[in-house]
Amino acid sequence: MEVRIRPARAAEATALTELVVRSKAYWGYDATFLEACREELTIRADEIDGRRIVVAEDEDLGMLGAASLEGTAPHGRLGLCFVEPHAIGRGVGRALYSHVMAAARELGFTRVTIESDPNAEPFYRRMGARPGEDTVSGSIEGRELPLLEVLFTTPGDGWTHAWTQGRRAIHLGNVAEFQSQFGPASTEAAHYSCLAAFISPHPAALILPREVPPDWIDLVGGVLGWGPVEVYDGLSRERAGGDLSRAVLSRPALAERLNSLGLPLLPWGRTGAFAELAGESPGPDALRYESKRAAHELFTRLAPDHPGIRVPEQWRADTRRAAARLLRKRGRAGRATVVKTEHGAGGSGTWVIRNHGFRASPLPRGPLLLEEFVSGTTDPRDLTYDGLVDAEGRVHEVGVAVMDVEGTAYQGATVGPGVVPPPLAETMARFGRAVGEQVAASGYRGWFDVDFVTGSDGRPAPTEINLRMTGPSVAFMVKARLDGIRGGDHLVRTVDHVPLGARLPGPELSAFLRETARRCAGIDAVLVPSIPTAAFEPAPRVGVVLAAHARERLDAAEALVRAAAQDTGRMFLS
């Protein structure tokens, strides 16, 4: 069924009224009830334009539903949203609702209320409307109806405005360049750099080290309402991604083009080469707390003022042999230990040693950091607080997230309402803000996060600071964009590693992503493809961002995507 939405016509007033009454009757109301409602449900020819009534229709099936956006910005209401009974459950209501909310956003509405039939309330809740106070029925005396609301954010809201001054931005995917300041870049850095598409909620240009599928950014932008995005990819011949800032500097025409846009230039992480490209002068200690040793020292200093925080003990071992001696001693005492290199991303350079019979040879030569393993099965276990330091050194809170960690490897994160219990979130936020103030005092400007694990006593234990964009930051960006263009309060989950059942070249990958996105939409979820470049690797996989207004739909969308990804192998079976 192909649904088209268009403005209603005055000549359709009677037909629309009968459609609305049939739709109301779908819920089992008797003739007396419907007659009492008829005056309120009647649509008059002279009010169709003023009420902004639209019609959903199919070329073969004709008129299938109607909806309206009523009132004057900034506050309005969803006056109608009715579907022919035979079309209910086929996506017509979802299409009408989405159309009206998109129109509300474009027209400058910040709040849309919905006086819902009790039977329709679950639908509106799934679509992101939040419950408010009940309201009195306009037709039936003594009857109360659920009143819901949809809120839209504006470019001047909170941290998003502090991040980009309410403007679009230029994104630089210099993941490998950032990592190379502290050691060899990971082999996954070039694939991970695709996440630079989400450095801000609304990019104008994207600069990447490796080539990306030509229609990937259109798939992403179509969901997030970006419009045209300039993409400059394939700038580095190095497999990991190389020095992307210098690659731009070596192309004067590209550097001039980016400068001509007059927009904020945002990197994945700050480097000397980026400072040269952006004309900045970072202080010598700006990245001090990217060090896990320096971060631990900061946590220890701050902890006395934050009794809800527990800082694990940490020791330094100058050599692999010294580390092995301490690890065996702790292992014999039944104590697990986390071994860390001073720098590392996404769990790289981190091991958990649980017994004294391990072999020391796999460990790096040193120096190494040995840290008390915080035990516990409290859910949620792995957490993060994200914030940013603006150009004036002010700290802005972004939010808290639950991370998906397998062993020590980061897999993704979930953000949104209720993901982290409020008391735990408040404890993390207080400590995260205090960390941000110290990070700002060191001269750092940009995005940062503080990672935590939750112990058996329920207290969060800080483990590291990241002075760069990270996987969870992607979830916050997508949430900010979807909340702004669709309304509501989204739950967003990043899934960075979805194994595919077959290696997919460009056209097959695009077809898979489009079909899977369509299936997610069928369960009121959103799919945004985030990492497309690994789909033709020997171990093929993709990354996605998923969003929904209910936790069960978010979980269902992830299950759908993982199953569909594994099924890709079947298309090549004879």
Q: Which domain range does residue 350 map to?
A: 314-372
For residue 431, being part of any structural domain is answered with yes
Res 143: pLDDT:
63
Last residue in a domain, options 151, 168, 184: 151
For residue 8, being part of any structural domain is answered with yes
The owner of tokens 């679509």 is 127
Cβ proximity of 8 and 53 under 8 Å:
yes
Res 332: pLDDT:
87
Q: DSSP string spanning 165-230?
A: TTS-EEEE--HHHHHTTTSPPPTTHHHHGGGGGGSSSSEEEEE-SS---TTHHHHHHHHHT----E
Res 574: pLDDT:
43
Domain match, 227 and 188 both: yes
How large is the average pLDDT for residues 455-470?
A: 95
Res 390: pLDDT:
95
In tens, the pLDDT along 153-197 reads 665 558 999 999 889 999 999 999 999 999 888 888 999 999 999
3-state secondary structure of 338: strand
Cβ proximity of 179 and 189 under 8 Å:
yes
In tens, the pLDDT along 40-82 reads 999 999 999 999 999 999 988 899 999 999 999 999 999 999 9
What's the whole-model pTM score?
A: 0.86
Domain match, 143 and 219 both: no
Domain match, 229 and 175 both: yes
For residue 91, being part of any structural domain is answered with yes
CATH code: domain of residue 439:
3.30.470.20
Domain match, 455 and 352 both: no
Cα distance between residue 378 and residue 380, in whole Å: 6
Asked which of 228-232, 343-347, 376-380 is least confident by mean pLDDT, the reply is: 343-347
For residue 21, being part of any structural domain is answered with yes
In tens, the pLDDT along 302-357 reads 999 999 999 999 999 999 889 888 998 898 888 999 999 988 765 567 888 887 66
For residue 19, being part of any structural domain is answered with yes
- The token duo for 554 is 């978010």
For residue 572, being part of any structural domain is answered with no
The owner of tokens 């992307």 is 244
Domain match, 269 and 222 both: yes
Domain match, 72 and 94 both: yes
Listed residue (281, 287, 342, 345) closest to 317, CA to CA: 342
Residue 249's φ and ψ, nearest 5 degrees, are: -60, -30
Domain match, 197 and 237 both: yes
Domain match, 24 and 134 both: yes
Domain match, 410 and 318 both: no
For residue 574, being part of any structural domain is answered with no
For residue 554, being part of any structural domain is answered with no
Question: Which residues, 6 or more positions from 256, have their beta carbon under 8 angstroms from its beta carbon?
Answer: none
Domain match, 120 and 212 both: no
Res 137: pLDDT:
53
Last residue in a domain, options 126, 151, 176: 151
Res 424: pLDDT:
96
If one counts the domains in the chain, the total is: 4
CATH code: domain of residue 138:
3.40.630.30
In tens, the pLDDT along 86-128 reads 999 888 998 899 899 889 988 989 899 999 989 999 888 888 8
Cβ proximity of 125 and 462 under 8 Å:
no
The owner of tokens 């192909």 is 2
pLDDT of residue 421 exceeding 90 = yes
Domain match, 25 and 104 both: yes
Last residue in a domain, options 260, 279, 298: 279
CA distances from 449 to 223, 373, 434, 435 (A): 27, 20, 12, 9
Domain match, 352 and 273 both: no
